Structure 1
Amino acid sequence: MSAQKDCEFLVKRARELVSEDPCAAKAWLITARTLYPADFNIQYEMYIIERNAERTASAGRLLYDMFINFPEQPIVWREISVITAALGLVPPNQEPVKTPEEQGKVKSKTRKGNDLRLLPCTSKAILPFCLQLMLACFKLRAFTDNRDDLSLGHVVVLLQYDWPQGEMLFLKAVDKICQQGSFQYENFFNYVTNIDMLEEFAYLRTPEGGRIQLELLPNQGMLIKHHTVTRGITKGVKEDFRLAMERQVSRCGENLLSVLHRFCINEKIIIIQSLP
């Protein structure tokens, strides 16, 4: 039996077991993915099972994996277009995300409804997908050789979801900030409430942390000029930062998904403009 037929058999067997024994179906697909990690159909079937079962976090991770490993697959981009449109991240006058093949065409074809895989239009179902997809997109810019503090800041905000799974990537972001010697992201105190992240950024300001210049407060450039004239840059800016950090620590108990939902809605324009 060829490898292709083996894959088809494993996927078919999993489909047969989904309704009566979901755990067994998942076991078949895990085995299949281990044997054939480069097969798209196996990973897509795993994603469909998790999505239909409304296990949004695991489904989001699987869709993220497909986005990274199989960007040429049209069905991946269709899933992305449904998610981003449902959450309101696609402006009314902008067409949904197109597949690589569709992007090369002058005339776009109208999609039929039965070509799309639909999810319930609720934040609980859609938001985790959207956060994973945005993280995948912003990583492309944040960790290139070119400096992009805005994308790096977005990555820090998004890594709060499903913490501590993204801790290693967060530490990579911190390393890049240390290499730069400075970091500017004026939305930091609006959306970063993770206590581990707050402690790390507070440490960066200390002599032991490298005295990294952090511009995390709105209009901090103007504040620096003000403090230079009135109280001295070191005393004034350090005091503002300390007070802002104390206020932020008191927000650590806020509902994280609500914070991230506000991030998606309030920063919609800048998010779209920042996407690769």
Structure 2
Amino acid sequence: MSAQKDCEFLVKRARDLVSEDPCAAKAWLITARTLYPTDFNIQHEMYTIERNAEKTASAGRLLYDMFINFPDQPVVCALLDVVGGLVPQNQDPVKNTDESGKARNKPRKGNDLRLLPCTSKAILPFCLQLMFACFKLRAFTDSRDDLSLGHVVVLLQHDWPQGESLFLKAIDKICQQGSFQYENFFNYVTNIDMLEEFAYLRTTEGGRVQLELLPNQGMLIKHHTVTRGITKGVKEDFRLAMERQVSRCGENLYTVLHRFCVNEKIIIIQSLP
């Protein structure tokens, strides 16, 4: 049996035991890590068991070890696992503008190591910042990437209004394109300033930008062409959707962004640079 198959067998054995005998499952994984210390899947399985058991201290140590020992693994995937295991807070994140301003103005060289409390209030904002940095690279290139640009708009809500200038840059790019498609818009964008800006883009003064923000809007356009005219029905659907979205502006932003990370995990990973 090859080393890879040995590792897979040990991990599978631990998974089979974890619900009935967590201690036995951990024993299998400790043995596995001793035999194969360079196998990422063993380390990740140990972290998953500790995270699911809500043992935050040991889960945090294992996650840190993964970042140090397996730098070639997709870090954002691991971060999304962390976000998926968080419990959303009932209050919006509190930002210390003085401290964040100092941190941004201070130049850093080399690697950046941060020690954070193992709480959703501390970890989620950090994960959002990392994802934002990844998507920003693709969203504002010369080539068109509506999906990354849409993700950027969603994530900019977290740092609002500090990110307003970058949001306006995104709006300028959409105007230059003349159209924009992001079907998750009404699922996750609840910022009233952003909603007003996108509503304005549909007007004559805003340039009559073609926005496809509703799920399956291409099919809706085809349907309305037959039943109610080429764009009349779609405009009405957009107006009603925007009105409903305005009523969600008081929704907890932490909950919205947490849901974005969990529900869209696969598409986020696929669209990473």
Distance 2:245 2:79 in 1: 31
SS of the aligned residue for 1:202 comes to helix
Shift of residue 198, structure 1, vs aligned partner: 0.1
Matched with 1:86 is 82
Matched with 1:224 is 221
Q: How does 1:55-74 map to 2 (within 5 A)?
A: none
Shift of residue 119, structure 1, vs aligned partner: 3.7
| Aligned partner of 1:177 among 174, 177, 185 | 174
SS of the aligned residue for 1:183 comes to strand
Distance 1:258 1:85 in 2: 16
Paired residue total: 175
Matched with 1:261 is 258
SS of the aligned residue for 2:199 comes to helix
Matched with 2:45 is none
| CA displacement 1:122-166 (0-9 Å, x = unmatched) | 321210001111110000000001100000000000000020000
Amino acid at match of 1:153: G
Q: How does 1:68-217 map to 2 (within 5 A)?
A: 83-88=79-84, 119-217=116-214
| CA displacement 1:226-250 (0-9 Å, x = unmatched) | 0000001221010000000000000
SS of the aligned residue for 1:239 comes to helix
Distance 2:156 2:217 in 1: 24
Counterpart contact for 1:139–1:151, Cα < 8 Å: yes
Amino acid at match of 1:86: V
Counterpart contact for 1:188–1:216, Cα < 8 Å: yes
Matched with 1:250 is 247
Q: Which has the higher contact order (CA 8 A, sep 6+)?
A: 2
The TM-score, its normalising length taken from structure 2, stands at 0.60
Matched with 1:93 is none
Distance 2:166 2:114 in 1: 30
Amino acid at match of 2:251: E
Q: Which runs of 4+ in 1 moved over 4 A?
A: 80-85
Distance 2:114 2:242 in 1: 43
Matched with 1:235 is 232
Counterpart contact for 2:80–2:262, Cα < 8 Å: no
Distance 1:85 1:249 in 2: 31
Question: RMSD between aligned alpha carbons?
Answer: 2.2
Counterpart contact for 2:146–2:182, Cα < 8 Å: yes
Counterpart contact for 2:116–2:123, Cα < 8 Å: yes
Q: 1:157–1:117: structure 2 CA closer, same or farther, 3 Å change rule?
A: closer
Shift of residue 201, structure 1, vs aligned partner: 0.1
Counterpart contact for 1:83–1:129, Cα < 8 Å: no
Counterpart contact for 2:84–2:258, Cα < 8 Å: no
Counterpart contact for 2:158–2:253, Cα < 8 Å: yes
Distance 1:142 1:263 in 2: 18
Q: Identity across aligned pairs (percent)?
A: 87
Which stretch has the larger CA shift, 120-129 or 188-197? Answer: 120-129
SS of the aligned residue for 1:178 comes to helix
Amino acid at match of 1:216: L
Distance 1:147 1:160 in 2: 22
Distance 2:222 2:194 in 1: 28
Distance 1:88 1:257 in 2: 13
Distance 1:84 1:241 in 2: 31
Structure 2 gaps of 5+ residues are: 1-67, 86-112
The TM-score, its normalising length taken from structure 1, stands at 0.60
